[in-house]
Chain A
Amino acid sequence: MELLSGADMLIRSLQDQGIEYIYGYPGGAALHIYDALFRQDQVKHILVRHEQAAVHMADGYARATGQPGTVLVTSGPGATNTITGIATAFMDSIPMVVLCGQVASTLIGEDAFQETDMMGVSRPVVKHNLSVRHPSEIPEIIRKAYYIASTGRPGPVVVDIPKDMTAPNERFEYAYPKKIKLRSYNPAIRGHAGQIKKAVDMMLAARRPVIYAGGGVILGKASGQLTELVRKLGYPITNTLMGIGCYPASDKQHLGWLGMHGTYEANMAMHHSDLILAVGARFDDRVTNATEKFCPGARIIHIDIDPASISKTIDADVPIVGPVDVVLKEMLALVKDSKEKPDADALASWWKQIDEWRAFHGMRYETSPDVIKPQEVVEMLCRLTNGDAFVTSDVGQHQMFAAQYYKFDKPNRWINSGGLGTMGFGLPAAMGIKLTHPDDEVLCITGEGSIQMNIQELSTCNQYKLPVKIINLNNQALGMVKQWQDMNYESRHSHSYMESLPDFIKLAEAYGHVGIRIDRKEDLEPKLKEALAMKDRLVFVDIQVDPFEHVYPMQVARGSMKDMWLSKTERV
């Protein structure tokens, strides 16, 4: 058997795990590992400018591919800088392994230079964390970390590696474990057959059914099964912000997404339904609005890999714990074999009602002859990229406009921080995607507030030639904060605008990229085309959009799903 140092074992384990890219930043406690990295070329390292960005890059990669991302940082500030990124991944159940250097085990607890209790600091925002206590454990710990991160309900796993565990002069036998088994961790591999049968009977007897799909469908790679089942049943489907793309947005059975800024028809259909089939969704507060007023006439079937997501905020009548792809496949087989068919008359009148809701509002906004509306920028981008780009976003109004007006027909293409709502996520996430999808269009739709939270990564983009397209919907304000202040604080705009915005064009140029400013409506299409035509350059497109625009629909606070503002003046 081969003898390797802890650092070499770590890198070999990554190779044997099939890891191609890691994102990180070196420092004292990680130097043995960085040296091992230098002496090979199979695992490629991307040097970011701030550790938070490394985590978002790994996250973007994971969301686009379904494979776990990998991060390498040093102890202390290197490790604590990853926390926002880890919490972002945790809230959205993104598989990821974060390798953190640590001071030598002999120094732990002595407040050594760059010492932080990363096990303690990360604990509330990880699926699990592991600490290396002997170098010979490294291969097994790495195997375990990827196994836990990517199975069951995925999530980030932190591995804390004291510097003496990777010392070059101590060598141990290396073997990468083929299989891993943990007696205390056994995610469900199929749903309960009796519950699935019961659910299908209820689904076929429903008169006003709606399917409510979430990010779990994308994470569980179950879009195919879901689409087939929905088409077979002919039922309406809505999805969450995290579920965008799990069912083709251009399909007529799709009602758009639901919740706080969801479509009128999706929220109305949910509220008036008699049966909700929830698939890989978690009844988040941004979906349900006031839980006590949630969908009063609906019985609920809830499929989720995580039992703790079921009946957490809304009671399920039929809980099904299992992988969504397996459960949906069994449901489809039962639906096909069943003698019962959905009541065609009931379904026809349900669709008639839904079409009336669609006609009443749908997704719309008022255009202006001279001011550029943020919504029309997104619509135009969707048209110019044939709805086929990877789109990342930051957080705020631009995020909602992007999600509302870019029509995604495929999963894994809409990449945003839905759960934690992390500003600064968009650019590094786009970089992580572009690196492994060089031939695909990768757009980062952002705002002038969010983009400045990780703007330093323009430097990384130059080093690795990552030609993402940054679409800055510049309204010179923290738009969503301002919107809430308009609606709830009599337009007292407390700290929601920024004076002294940088000249983004010069900024992009300073980092070696191309900057394009658009402030006239007639320039919008030609200049967007010009930006998109520059395939091998990062283009920062700074677009001056209407600063007074609000995101609608918007659910009325503490109301039911059907209580919405449809514009600044219309409330239903």
Chain B
Amino acid sequence: MRRIISVLLENEPGALSRVVGLFSQRNYNIETLTVAPTEDETLSRLTVTTTGSDRVIEQITKQLNKLVEVVKLVDLTEGAHIERELMLIKLKATGSQRAEIKRTVDIFRGQIVDVTSSVYTVQLAGDSDKLDGFVQAIGTSGVLEVVRSGVSGIARGEKVLSL
């Protein structure tokens, strides 16, 4: 099953390599990984999406917790949560395609953020399924370039991951 694990990590050199190293060392999967400092500059927030059986996921969270630089973590998929990913996508847009693409972008609530006579660059945010859905709707033949940020997530309601 797909899981989103959110980690508060000491913002120190080498800390990220320990997390990444752990996944490859123990043969765990990384689907996406995002990391950036938080409002507290001594901490980074890292979100990793992974798949595995319940036993594997339990081991992943335990092994992550063992890393000395991991301060706290939560498996967001255990409760209600919000998941977002940002995509920038460059599309071939000429002739009648231009209006069609514009309509599809509107339906997916994206924005065209850059335009040339033959290319639209579209920005789209949402969960990963929505981004996949957009690419499918456009059709791969018109796609020139895709860049996705990987998933960020946060719990719904009062629950917070902080010190």
Q: Is B10 an interface residue (CB 8 A)?
A: yes
Identify A307's interface contact among B14, B55, B62, CB under 8 A: B62
Complex CA–CA separation, A306 to B59 (angstroms)? 12
Q: Find chain A residues with CB under 8 A from B116 CB.
A: none
Q: Is B58 an interface residue (CB 8 A)?
A: yes
Complex CA–CA separation, A182 to B17 (angstroms)? 20
Chain A residues within 8 Å of chain B by Cβ, number: 18
CB distance from A424 to the nearest CB of B (A): 24
Interface string of B17-57 (1 = CB under 8 A from A): 11001000100000000000000000000000000000100
Q: Main SS of chain B's interface residues? A: helix
Q: Main SS of chain A's interface residues? A: mixed
Q: Is A312 an interface residue (CB 8 A)?
A: yes
Identify B68's interface contact among A124, A128, A312, CB under 8 A: A128
Asked if B13 and A308 sit within 8 Å, CB to CB, the answer is no
Complex CA–CA separation, A225 to B101 (angstroms)? 73
Q: Is B65 an interface residue (CB 8 A)?
A: yes
Q: Is A131 an interface residue (CB 8 A)?
A: yes
Given A119-B14, A123-B21, A124-B21, A308 and B68 contact (CB-CB distance below 8 Å): no
Q: Find chain B residues with CB under 8 A from A128 CB.
A: 68
Q: Find chain A residues with CB under 8 A from B58 CB.
A: 311
Asked if A123 and B17 sit within 8 Å, CB to CB, the answer is yes
Q: Is B71 an interface residue (CB 8 A)?
A: yes
Complex CA–CA separation, A131 to B55 (angstroms)? 34
Complex CA–CA separation, A131 to B14 (angstroms)? 10
CB distance from A297 to the nearest CB of B (A): 21
Asked if A308 and B66 sit within 8 Å, CB to CB, the answer is yes
Q: Find chain B residues with CB under 8 A from A148 CB.
A: 68
Interface string of A110-149 (1 = CB under 8 A from B): 0000000001100110011101000000000000000010
Complex CA–CA separation, A539 to B21 (angstroms)? 45
Q: Is A184 an interface residue (CB 8 A)?
A: yes
Asked if A131 and B21 sit within 8 Å, CB to CB, the answer is no
Q: Is A185 an interface residue (CB 8 A)?
A: yes
CB distance from B162 to the nearest CB of A (A): 12
Complex CA–CA separation, A557 to B14 (angstroms)? 41
Complex CA–CA separation, A183 to B21 (angstroms)? 22
Complex CA–CA separation, A129 to B68 (angstroms)? 9
Identify A306's interface contact among B18, B66, B69, B163, CB under 8 A: B66
Q: Find chain A residues with CB under 8 A from B59 CB.
A: 308, 312
Q: Find chain A residues with CB under 8 A from B76 CB.
A: none
Q: Find chain B residues with CB under 8 A from A306 CB.
A: 66
Given A131-B13, A131-B14, A307-B62, A184 and B21 contact (CB-CB distance below 8 Å): no
Interface string of A174-205 (1 = CB under 8 A from B): 00000000111100000000000000000000
Closest to A312 in B: B59
Complex CA–CA separation, A120 to B16 (angstroms)? 12
Asked if B62 and A184 sit within 8 Å, CB to CB, the answer is no
Q: Find chain B residues with CB under 8 A from A119 CB.
A: 14
Complex CA–CA separation, A98 to B163 (angstroms)? 31
Asked if A184 and B10 sit within 8 Å, CB to CB, the answer is yes
Interface string of B85-114 (1 = CB under 8 A from A): 000000000000000000000000000000
Complex CA–CA separation, A440 to B63 (angstroms)? 40
Chain B residues within 8 Å of chain A by Cβ, number: 19
Identify A185's interface contact among B14, B55, B62, B68, CB under 8 A: B68
Complex CA–CA separation, A131 to B58 (angstroms)? 30
Closest to B64 in A: A308
Complex CA–CA separation, A183 to B71 (angstroms)? 7
Q: Find chain B residues with CB under 8 A from A182 CB.
A: 68
Closest to B18 in A: A123
Asked if B17 and A184 sit within 8 Å, CB to CB, the answer is no
Q: Find chain B residues with CB under 8 A from A308 CB.
A: 59, 62-63, 65-66
Identify B163's interface contact among A124, A129, A183, CB under 8 A: A183
Q: Find chain A residues with CB under 8 A from B69 CB.
A: 184
CB distance from A381 to the nearest CB of B (A): 40
Q: Find chain B residues with CB under 8 A from A184 CB.
A: 10, 68-71
Asked if B17 and A120 sit within 8 Å, CB to CB, the answer is yes
CB distance from B62 to the nearest CB of A (A): 4
Asked if B17 and A311 sit within 8 Å, CB to CB, the answer is no
Closest to A185 in B: B68
Complex CA–CA separation, A435 to B69 (angstroms)? 36
Q: Find chain A residues with CB under 8 A from B68 CB.
A: 127-128, 148, 182, 184-185
Closest to B24 in A: A124
CB distance from B133 to the nearest CB of A (A): 38
Q: Find chain A residues with CB under 8 A from B13 CB.
A: 131
Interface string of B139-163 (1 = CB under 8 A from A): 0000000000000000000000001
Complex CA–CA separation, A308 to B62 (angstroms)? 5
10 inter-chain pairs at a CB distance below 8 angstroms, sorted by A residue, are A123-B14, A123-B17, A123-B18, A124-B25, A128-B68, A148-B68, A184-B71, A308-B59, A308-B63, A311-B55
Which B residues are closer than 8 A to A by beta carbons? 10, 13-14, 17-18, 21, 25, 55, 58-59, 62-63, 65-66, 68-71, 163
Given contacts A124-B21, A183-B163, 4 further A-B contacts (CB under 8 A): A184-B10, A184-B70, A307-B65, A312-B59
Report, nearest first, the 7 A-B pairs whose CB atoms are least far apart: A308-B62, A184-B71, A128-B68, A185-B68, A124-B25, A307-B62, A308-B63
